[in-house]
């Protein structure tokens, strides 16, 4: 049972790292492009500034469509919860049936509550339609 929880924690760690890296990459790219737009404007390079503005818009759209930051936080929460479960199991503070139930709940969260991107309207985790 401990090996299963550890494997779940490792899966969450890998997904956390992936989403965290992409969130950081998009944020840094957005900052660099914004500074580049300012520089292009200062040097009267309006065509370059226009292209850079389009790139910034595409990065913002990507961040809305793929909420890497929210997903990273979600997986970080699951990592913490699974680490707590491992501690409880190793210290004998939790019975096996309760540990199995807790792991099942974590897996259900893993499968169903992943943050989704937004667009003109998105479906929430409860299945309700929202509009921004």
Domain segments of the chain as ranges:
2-115
Tens place of pLDDT per residue across the chain (132 aa): 999 999 999 999 999 999 999 999 999 999 999 999 999 999 999 999 999 999 999 999 999 999 999 999 999 999 999 999 999 999 999 999 999 999 999 999 998 877 777 765 444 444 444 444
pTM of the full predicted structure? 0.80
Q: Mind giving me the DSSP string for 45-82?
A: -HHHHHHHHHHHHHHHHHHHHS-HHHHHHHHHHHHHHH
């Amino acid at each position: 049972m401990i090996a299963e929880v550890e494997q779940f924690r490792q899966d969450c760690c890998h997904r956390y790292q992936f989403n965290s890296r992409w969130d950081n990459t998009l944020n840094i790219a957005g900052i660099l492009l914004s500074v580049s737009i300012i520089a292009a404007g200062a040097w009267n390079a309006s065509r370059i500034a226009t292209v850079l503005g389009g790139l910034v818009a595409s990065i913002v759209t990507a961040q809305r469509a793929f909420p890497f930051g929210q997903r990273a936080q979600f997986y970080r929460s699951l990592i913490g919860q699974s680490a707590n479960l491992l501690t409880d199991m190793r210290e004998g503070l939790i019975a096996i049936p309760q540990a199995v139930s807790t792991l099942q709940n974590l897996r259900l969260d893993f499968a169903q509550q992943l943050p989704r991107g937004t667009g003109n309207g998105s479906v929430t985790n409860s299945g309700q339609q929202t509009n921004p």
